[in-house]
Structure 1
Amino acid sequence: MYVPGKLSDVRRVLVDVGTGYYVEKSADAARAFFQRKIEFLTRQMEKIQPALQEKHAMKQAVLEMMTQKLQQLTAAPGGAKA
């Protein structure tokens, strides 16, 4: 959640470095930290993108196969009995 606020000292800021830990940094150091974080996350996204696409394609193939099987079962004589 973000709320509007004003910094009393614009030269020093608190940076959330994860798991509830905060570090006081200069504005320039904080900017550099977040730039490194953005670059790291971008590289990670690029690494997992092919695997996600492959998994999505597998999921689509499974769904298509299930749809075909369901249509075969409902079209077969006695297949609609439950």
Structure 2
Amino acid sequence: MEKMKYTFGKRHWRNPDSKYGYGDPMQLDKDVMDSIMKSRKRGNEIKEILVAEINKDPARQRETYELIIKSLIEIKTELKL
């Protein structure tokens, strides 16, 4: 039986301990791209929500913006992010 050789970071040499070890060699790249796209989509959704909230009262945009920032800082502290 031939000894399997592999090195991390090389697509054509597979890590048998990885879930990508024996499957499609392009699956890792696909999964990474899916993750990037989901993250960008979520970021755009959050941005749309925040912009809509800021634009509700045009005369108080600066105040709304500052309240959002203050709230985010509080959430970060509470959740220990």
TM-score range for the pair, normalised by the shorter chain length: 0.3 to 0.5
**Which structure is richer in relative contact order (CA contacts within 8 A, separation 6 or more)?**
1
TM-score, normalised to structure 1's length?
0.40
Give 1 or 2 for the bigger CA radius of gyration.
1
